Amino acid sequence: MLGRLNHVAIAVPDLAAASAVYRQTLGAKVTEPQALPEHGVTVVFIDVGNTKIELLEPLGEGSPIAAFLDKNPSGGMHHVCYEVDDILAARDRLKASGARVLGDGNPKIGAHGKPVLFLHPKDFQGTLVELEQA
Ligand code: CO
């Protein structure tokens, strides 16, 4: 079921400042910011060859990463995203094995225009897991 690591996401308090660190200090190419109101975040991606890094900044009231940044004010690793071939089949299999799917359990369209779901960190070694249909 589990496919490639699509990205590792880092929540940041200031997306412009974080993008500058990746561009200038690390010499990486950073995409233009993309607002995802449905997910309550603005994102950029950094392609590091074998995977991507996603930097996330809160967008709007009640952003799902606001509480995380309250606990980690300088930012921190927020989730890992794995690819799956069939997100509904993956969801049904995970639910049948007792894993909790966040939100209403239905995939939303993510930053790459593909369906995504998030799984409860307490069911996955304390790590928030995103699944993206490849
Ligand atoms: Co993500």
Q: What is the pLDDT of residues 52-95, one digit of tens each?
A: 999 999 999 889 999 999 999 999 999 999 999 999 999 999 99
**How does pLDDT run across 2-50, given as a tens digit for each residue?**
999 999 999 999 999 999 999 999 999 999 999 999 899 999 999 999 9
Q: Catalytic residue at 32?
A: no
Distant-in-sequence, close-in-space partners of 73: CB < 8 Å, separation ≥ 6:
13
CA of 55 to the centre of ligand 1 (A): 9
Q: Note the pLDDT of residue 41.
A: 96
Q: Cα(127)–Cα(13) distance, rounded to whole angstroms? A: 20
Q: Note the pLDDT of residue 45.
A: 98
Q: Note the pLDDT of residue 54.
A: 98
CA of 84 to the centre of ligand 1 (A): 14
Domains of the chain plus CATH, in order, are: 2-133 (3.10.180.10)
Q: What is the pTM of this model?
A: 0.94
CA of 119 to the centre of ligand 1 (A): 12
Ion ligand 1 residue ranges (Cβ < 5 Å)? 9, 54, 81, 130
CA 73 → CA 29, 58, 69, distances in Å?
25, 12, 5
End-to-end CA distance of the chain: 11
Q: Note the pLDDT of residue 108.
A: 94
Identified catalytic residue from 57, 83, 130, 132: 130
**How does pLDDT run across 95-114, given as a tens digit for each residue?**
999 999 999 999 999 988 99
Q: Note the pLDDT of residue 53.
A: 98
